[in-house]
Structure 1
């Protein structure tokens, strides 16, 4: 199985919904999800699964200073929607 770095994409996934967010590169296979007001609402992380590429929605938990996974999805759009509505 390939590792995240080996499978890593430097190009942000194309979002097809009208989520009105943009993705800012943070690391290989990792993007900050930024809302129209410039606020980072979470991270989108590309991961490799035996059946294909998955997208993990992650949010910073301020109290613990750690990221929490909100879920893994088969599309970047679904992961972004999770971040938008899990506020």
Structure 2
């Protein structure tokens, strides 16, 4: 477990590395990850695990007509980075 675990109370997490991407609220703990042109590349979901906050990267699979979890991450930046590279 990293030395600094992000704990939040409300609003979207702040992205440190991919500032061109935006997070748009879809529900209280779920955000759409959106390109500057408005294209949604996936979802970022906040998940409480072992008393800490983790971030789940989710991508829609048209073939399955469902979302596919790509993984849980300790930072929102890492989860979003996974969505970017999973294209």
Shared fold (TM-score, shorter chain, > 0.5): yes
- Unaligned 5+ segments in structure 2 are 1-7
- Unaligned 5+ segments in structure 1 are 1-7
Asked if the contact 2:18–2:77 (Cα under 8 Å) also holds between the matched residues in 1, the reply is no
Asked if the contact 1:19–1:81 (Cα under 8 Å) also holds between the matched residues in 2, the reply is no
Residues 55, 80 of structure 1: alpha-carbon distance in 2 compared, 3 angstrom cutoff: same
Q: Post-superposition, which runs of at least 4 consecutive aligned residues in structure 1 deviate over 3 A?
A: none
**Residue 41 of structure 1: aligned partner:** 41
Aligned-partner Cα distance in 1 for 2:86–2:40: 13
User: What secondary structure, in the 3-state scheme, does the structure 1 residue paired with 2:83 have?
Assistant: helix
Compute the RMSD of aligned alpha carbons: 1.5
Residues 26, 9 of structure 1: alpha-carbon distance in 2 compared, 3 angstrom cutoff: farther
Number of residue equivalences = 80
- TM-score when normalising by structure 2: 0.85
Asked if the contact 2:22–2:33 (Cα under 8 Å) also holds between the matched residues in 1, the reply is yes
TM-superposed CA distance for 1:64, in Å, is 1.2
Counting helix residues as a fraction of each chain, which structure ranks higher?
1
Aligned-partner Cα distance in 2 for 1:44–1:18: 14
- TM-score when normalising by structure 1: 0.85
**Residue 83 of structure 1: aligned partner:** 83
TM-superposed CA distance for 1:51, in Å, is 4.5
